[in-house]
Chain A
Amino acid sequence: MSETFEPKIIAFVCTYCTYAGADLAGTSRLKYAPNVRIIRLPCTGRISPMFILKALQKGADGILISGCHPGDCHFTHGNYHARRRWMVFRSLLDFMGISPERVKFSWISAAEGGKFADLINNVTEDIRKLGPFDQYKELIMETEAPATL
């Protein structure tokens, strides 16, 4: 393969901090990798693990989840709840063989446009190094294939 692999990354972000941070990155004319599709949600507390599974089911190679720093949540503690949930879900994915390298978490405030751009670049590079999530894609392919027996 001569072409470099371009990973598909889905980012679930909260509207009050990380989405505003992404906005700032844009209005500051910062350049970052175009591999990320951003999905805006009201709060990290709204980010259900179902979203992560759905993204994988639809062929994502990596997933980024990001919201307000602890203490900054618009709803006071949505991100604290989310943090516990991720801790557990991350370990579950790890145990099932879905490498935690593919599912990343971060805190990015509305003022951190620079951090957002850097993070997207880093995450994209990390996932590029890991390569496409072939093991999961095999399962997806199987669902589209005719019966074998």
Chain B
Amino acid sequence: MKLPAISATLLLMGLMSGPLVRAQRGSQLRFSLASDPKTFNPLLVDDDASEAIRYLTGGVLVRLNRETQQLEPDLATSWRVSRAGNSITFTLRRNLRFSDGTPFTAQDVAYTIQRLMDPVLHSPTGDSFRSGPGNVTARIIGKNQITIVFPRPIVGLAKLFDQVGILSAHSPHKEMAVLGPYYVAEYKPGSYLLLERNPNYWKRDGAGNQLPYIESIRISIEENRDIEMLRLMRGEIDFINSLDPDLYDRLARQAPKMAYDAGVSLDSEQMWFNEVPAAPIPAYKKAWFTSTRFRRAVSESINRADLVRVVFRGHAQPAVSWISPANKFWFDAGLHPHPFDRKDALRLLAEDGFHLQNGVLRDRGGHAVEFSVITNGGNMERVHMAAMIQQDLAGIGIRLNVVTLDFPSLIDRITRSFNYEACLLGLVNDGLDPNAQMNVWLSSADNHQWDPDEKTPATAWEAQIDRLMRAQAATLDVKKRKQEVDEVQQIVWREEPFIYLVYKDALAGVSTRLRNVHPVALRPQVYWNIDQLWIAGGRAEGRGWN
């Protein structure tokens, strides 16, 4: 009868110390980035590769848990936002050291904030903190407490600190001294980066073992997605953070245990019509594009379910509005995608004076309805979506010409010359807070793509969106904010300045050797819990392939 008790004890011990015991010394994680990081300075990050390095090496005061989407203590054990919303007080973890041994104190936080807000540095991360004219001040209350005061209230202030990697005020290694789980040990531009485990990393697991479990990370620079896929299959890399549906399906067929679909992501694919008054397109076409009924009719003629099934092989979801269901709190669950309904589309068009003549849709003036949609030729998903929309619109007598362009030409057309009729493009979304999309929804914004930089709102509903977006950005009452953001989603759903097509799934490929993996929809999908990951059996460091 003792046997079960002993087994249970052994099992318990195994669970307590499992990862550390099994992850041999010298274990190395390997993956690829599509390009070199532009910077190692966490305050200057504005590209995916640098963001990856910041996430792996940077220590932050608070960390957004990518799975629960809740803030968790990191270098700060607690934080408190003032009632006015313009200041935040952090209580810092004691006796921490940077990777080079320099002690971590409130002075480092003050120094980081000073550098972050320095106008000479032009920190993209700092832009989110610029609430209005005036200086940002950091008051050190004690060795382990600091209050940061902003000139105006900032909505969602605490979450913004998830992006702020803390710098050392005193280390001679400057930004290379870090508080995150890894530090950059070697870098060969165009070839690879080697990150070593930070010996002073503060976090420990439940059994008291220092994290992270994996000793080092070797990141190769590999632009070609097919080669990256082959390397994963050969076991030369341990994961691919983001896969196209085609590659995902290939992986799922060949090695089903390696394919992960983490569900719908924040990224959307959409099309829109050019509504810029000065655009070089005929007046009668401008009249079509600025008509809500016309946009709704086009939207209802697109079979989104087919786009999901055929182009994305089921790894997407018909889109509703500008916030994806992956954004658990802000998504308006009361909204549903527009149905595929050609009858209703023709009814809407008839209300605007359109009529079918020998299978061709014509407007009041007798013009045949024909327009072009531009998209970037390198992206086959978009080209395929455009081809499917072409067939769908032919069903209501609209002739659509699909034009693929190189990306710079496309950007030039939609931002400078405005010489296009419709565009199909995707939006990559990193932030959960609706404020991250202020530059899209304010009528005066640059990325208000259907008609950028409006001097005054062109329509009543755009004026209403302006009012609601400004109101939600000015209040600290979360319930009120949610109501206002929901209302904006409803207006966008009704007016369709962007015809939202699909939300893509977050797809990843992960080696079966990598353990404790829970891919999520938010970036970085696979390694968001990097300090908890471990490799079964480990891997000797010398086996190089670069």
Is B a genuine binding partner of A?
Answer: no
